[in-house]
Structure 1
Amino acid sequence: MNERTAARPKRVTIDDLATAAGVSRQTVSRAINDKGEIDPSTRRRILDIARSLGYRPNRFARAMVHQDEVTLGLLVPNIVNPYFPEVADGVLEAASALGWHVVMHRTRATLDGELGAVKLMARQVDAFVGYLGHPEAVREARDSGLPFALLDGEVLDALAPEEAAVGRVEVDLESGVRQALAHLVQLGHRRIGLIDAGGTAQPSPRGRHFDHCAREFGLSLGPGLRRPGRNSVEGGQRAMGELLDENPGVTAVLAYNDLVALGAVRAVRGRGLRVPEHCSVVGFDGLSVAALVDPPLTTLHIDKQRLGAESVRLAAAALADPGVVPERVVVRPELVVRESTGAAAV
């Protein structure tokens, strides 16, 4: 621990006040925001405890009185994958409608990157939204005392229930995988592979749903049908080549996302084969570029504007009332059928 870290005291949160006063978060919120529906003596006791602990209301509360501008933080893993800029556009649109400023930090999806971004935001913003993939980063976010909402709440599964009480906006991945497999099965495909992401044999959440849904459809899960790969066009191309080497009879693949799917198409063509005549390819995410490639990509479209807008809505609710019950919003992907899928070769 360096001197700067040691000198920075932990911010007192609503949860700290609730514990010290022996009351609920909602009661503390009513006391701090003078909303009534609370006994005056209880309110005075809570405010006394807040003063003794050095509690500082967030900047949004001061903005309500002083008309200061509100700043929202946005955390994204990277800006190379077009998915995240499209989500960011939804955040910017919703924040702009509220008159808020937005600052963005890239985390690279590493623990150090996420912890550093959260600590930096604690000094710069009134609330934040975005992607955190490490439990330690979520704990740091809670300890910051800032309202925040997660985009993709898979990390919360690794936390205790009280730590996982966080607003979140999630994609219904299982629904998306099931739609893709149903589409391919209807076209006559039985040897369907998955190009996963992560670079390890451990399946991603999409990979786990693939295994589960494939069994529902009675599909083979033979060796090598789920190939790990990197989350990139090049990673998709390499993994698809390995899949074709090990399973030359595969007639369709579901890719982790559209970038990986574009790599898969490149690999199929590199073997002198055609998409979809020899192998159908389905992407995931519904990037704008998916409609512009050749052949246009069948994909699970995710409303990324809505993801961003919903995360801002949750952050605004937490800013207005720190005692608000965290909400979980689930966005369902929609299958968009284009020319990269067709009937299974006989």
Structure 2
Amino acid sequence: MERKPVPGRRATIGDVAELAGVSKQTVSRAINDKGEIGAATKERVLEAARSLGYRPSRFARGLRLQDSVTVGLLLSDVTNPYYPEVASGVLEVAEDRGWHVVVGDSRGDRRRELEALQVLARQADALIGQCSSPDEELARELPGVPIVLLDHPPGHRGHGSVRIDFTSGMRQAVDHLVLDRGRRRIGVLEGTPRANPATERRLSAEQRLREHGLPAGADWTAHAVSHTVAGGEAALAELLTARPDMDGVVCYNDQIAIGAMRELKRAGRRVPADVSVIGFDGLPLGELVTPSLTSVHIDKARLGRLAVQEVARLLADPTAPPVPDAPVVHPELVVRGST
């Protein structure tokens, strides 16, 4: 018994009944482990369900039984302060709807990402996550599961998305350094290994630097091997060796920026008198360092609210095509002591 799931359409109980050659009532008994069904028939039904990628709609059952919706939230790294803030935003708005949230952590590993999503999918009606796996792979591995992707353009049918406008955020950061602080030799600390494609944050910063007539590119970029303070320290040391006359730096995130400030101090450079530093994310952590960190702030509560709204849209119609324009969170520069 073998039939491929239909791309873009969630399998129904009727599809399972047709493939197994039984009634819908028999499918329901087999799926819910009820009596009055033979072992061979039950196995045939379950095999049909597996073949089609069928998942009973907990959402539809919740409408009938006043049960609550459960959302699975996949985080990339729970040790990074950014992700608990995102989780807090999702939890807050989900709680307002009376929904439950279960959380998983991929630890930044793509293999673990798919495994974690599959575990969450067995417990939840829909998923929210910042995923590195391609749309096609997610659709193949999680057929029929509504997924809302963070920092991701609209794509596969049955997938929603919420974008962060990194371009406007980095334009604000670069404009502040150039126009407000008069910096002319500005480096970029990227958040991925050198072999990886450039992130939107880096590309946006470099584009704006060039628009100001300033040098930008690989010669003015260092790569943090991790999104941590230590990663920022190492990347800044590398960049400072290559560009000792650097007078400003924009960073992939706040932790990398704090590491950059620590390394500048170690090298005898004053922040901001000698080098201005800007982070990205707007974590409360940035207010606790000296000098306090200028950062491009992302409204994590709004990110969570928009993601939950996308989940509600998909649950109402799991086969709906992706919207042409995903909801967008627009970051805002918060100026503090580091610039």
TM range (shorter): 0.7 to 0.9
1:36 corresponding residue in structure 2: none
1:262-281 pair list within 5 angstroms: 262-281=258-277
1:339 corresponding residue in structure 2: 337
Q: CA deviation at 1:140?
A: 3.8
Distance 1:8 1:286 in 2: 50
Distance 2:316 2:195 in 1: 44
Amino acid at match of 1:15: R
Distance 2:79 2:54 in 1: 40
1:240-279 pair list within 5 angstroms: 240-279=236-275
2:169 corresponding residue in structure 1: 176
> Is 2:53–2:143's contact at 8 Å kept on the other side of the alignment?
no
2:21 corresponding residue in structure 1: none
Amino acid at match of 2:169: G
Q: CA deviation at 1:255?
A: 0.6
The yes-or-no answer on 1:196 pairing with 2:216 is: no
SS of the residue 2:102 aligns to: strand
Amino acid at match of 1:131: Q
The yes-or-no answer on 1:149 pairing with 2:148 is: yes
Q: CA deviation at 1:221?
A: 2.2
The yes-or-no answer on 1:318 pairing with 2:314 is: yes
Q: How big is each residue's C-alpha offset from its partner over 1:130-170, in whole Å with a ceiling of 9 and x where there is no partner?
A: 111111652346x431212111116x7xxxx6x36621111
What is the number of equivalent residue pairs in this alignment? 297
Distance 1:13 1:56 in 2: 15
1:28 corresponding residue in structure 2: none
Q: Which runs of 5+ in 1 are unaligned?
A: 1-6, 22-49, 342-346
> Is 1:118–1:137's contact at 8 Å kept on the other side of the alignment?
no
> Is 2:11–2:144's contact at 8 Å kept on the other side of the alignment?
no
Inter-CA distance 54–223: structure 2 relative to 1 (3 Å threshold): closer
Amino acid at match of 2:258: L
Distance 1:212 1:65 in 2: 53
Q: CA deviation at 1:309?
A: 1.3
1:83-94 pair list within 5 angstroms: 83-94=82-93
TM-score by length of 2: 0.81
1:42 corresponding residue in structure 2: none
Inter-CA distance 185–164: structure 2 relative to 1 (3 Å threshold): farther
- RMSD over aligned Cα, in angstroms? 2.7
Quick one: percent identity of the two aligned structures?
A: 44
Q: How big is each residue's C-alpha offset from its partner over 1:197-254, in whole Å with a ceiling of 9 and x where there is no partner?
A: 1122542221122222211111112663111112211010011011111111100000
Q: Which runs of 5+ in 2 are unaligned?
A: 16-48
SS of the residue 2:79 aligns to: coil
TM-score by length of 1: 0.79
> Is 1:60–1:319's contact at 8 Å kept on the other side of the alignment?
yes
Amino acid at match of 1:189: R
Quick check: 208-217 or 300-309, which moved more? 208-217
1:69 corresponding residue in structure 2: 68
